[in-house]
Amino acid sequence: MNYHGTVLLKETIKYLKVDRNKKYIDATLGDGGHTIEIMKRGGEVLGIEINEEALLRAKDRIEKEGLSENFKGVLGNFKNIDEIAKDNGFEKVNGVIYDLGYSSYELEELGIGLSFQRDEPLDMRLDKNLGVTAKDLVNSLNEKELARLILEYSDERLANRFARAIVKARNLKKIQTTAQLAEIIKSVSPLGYERGRINPATRTFQALRIVVNDEIANLEKSLPRAARILLPGSVIILITFHSLEEKVAKSFGRSVRPGIREAFDGPLVPSNEEMNSNPRSRSAKMRVFEKI
């Protein structure tokens, strides 16, 4: 089974100062890459995962590694990190890690339409208890609302053009799949869009994922709650992948929170070696927040 290449792994382990019998929370478990390295060094980990299939996959991997004894996996939303921690005996912890990137499994194999690389239902809900799907948004919002969503959550400069094309297309046929949506966007994209660096649908799909899963609001709620359960001398490590997440990180770092400070002047980024071996790491930025 292939697993996601864990971003900034060496740096995460270094700044978490992992030690035997200390407790850590992986707020975005994913494929469990960070968690496994923490447990290999003797740490105990509470892994939080919002998607049930992803949680089962991570548990299976951890069991095969022979590390289940020091692991507790929980299905939940990290916005409730303090409650989840308390319910599972992690009231005070020695470190918290947030890796906000989607795993290859989520993008390519989960089957909920997070990516345009495969033709899948336009759902995007990591948590099936959520009510609104991406299909609901693209088929119900008016042109102005749709353009605002795309622009606000992705900085797509062609948001108005894409929204207009989506509304025109859905008037002829309801948009149901990722391939339909990607083709609509491609059909009105200028030649040489972003000099070929990214697919024209990339930012629109990002915006829809963020809104469907309420990602930014959840992060804003979670960070101060994580700070409250952190032991003195311990850190929160936050790995972001786009400007909206980075904006939340900067805001958290600047805000006046008793006993919390940013460990470095600005974010850390992957080495050239890591970016070459794992292209998905290129947009990653790490911030380290320390509890004094």
CATH number of the domain at 228, please.
3.40.50.150
Query: Which of 79-93, 124-138, 211-225, 255-269 shows the lowest per-residue confidence on average (mean pLDDT)?
Result: 255-269
pLDDT at 1: 58
Give 99's pLDDT tier (boundaries 50, 70, 90): very high
Say yes or no: 270 and 228 in one domain.
Answer: yes
The chain-wide mean pLDDT, for the chain, equals 94
Residue 269 located in a structural domain:
yes
Distance CA 12, CA 184 (A): 40
Which has more confidence, 74 or 105? 74
Residue 31 located in a structural domain:
yes
Say yes or no: 98 and 147 in one domain.
Answer: no
**The pTM is what?**
0.94
CB-based burial of residue 266 (10 Å sphere; 0-12 exposed, 13-18 middle, 19+ buried)?
Answer: exposed
pLDDT at 95: 98
Say yes or no: 144 and 102 in one domain.
Answer: no
Residue 115 located in a structural domain:
no
pLDDT at 4: 62
Q: What is the mean pLDDT of residues 206-210?
A: 97
Residue 124 located in a structural domain:
no
Distance CA 175, CA 274 (A): 38
Say yes or no: 100 and 231 in one domain.
Answer: yes
What's the CATH code of the domain at 137? 1.10.150.170
pLDDT at 86: 98
Domain final residue pick, 157, 182, 213: 213
- Residue-wise pLDDT for 212-261, tens only, equals 999 999 999 999 999 999 999 999 999 999 999 999 999 998 885 668 99
Say yes or no: 39 and 180 in one domain.
Answer: no
Say yes or no: 101 and 21 in one domain.
Answer: yes
Structural domain boundaries, residue 263: 9-106+215-291
Q: What is the mean pLDDT of residues 263-270?
A: 92
- Residue-wise pLDDT for 162-202, tens only, equals 999 999 999 999 999 999 999 999 999 999 998 888 999 99
**Structural domains in the chain (count):** 2
The letter for the amino acid at 93 is V
- Residue-wise pLDDT for 9-42, tens only, equals 999 999 999 999 999 999 999 999 999 999 999 9
pLDDT at 228: 95
Residue 120 located in a structural domain:
no
Domain final residue pick, 213, 237, 253: 213
Domain final residue pick, 213, 240, 256: 213
Say yes or no: 54 and 187 in one domain.
Answer: no
Give 2's pLDDT tier (boundaries 50, 70, 90): low
Say yes or no: 19 and 100 in one domain.
Answer: yes
Say yes or no: 102 and 219 in one domain.
Answer: yes
Give 109's pLDDT tier (boundaries 50, 70, 90): confident
Say yes or no: 95 and 150 in one domain.
Answer: no
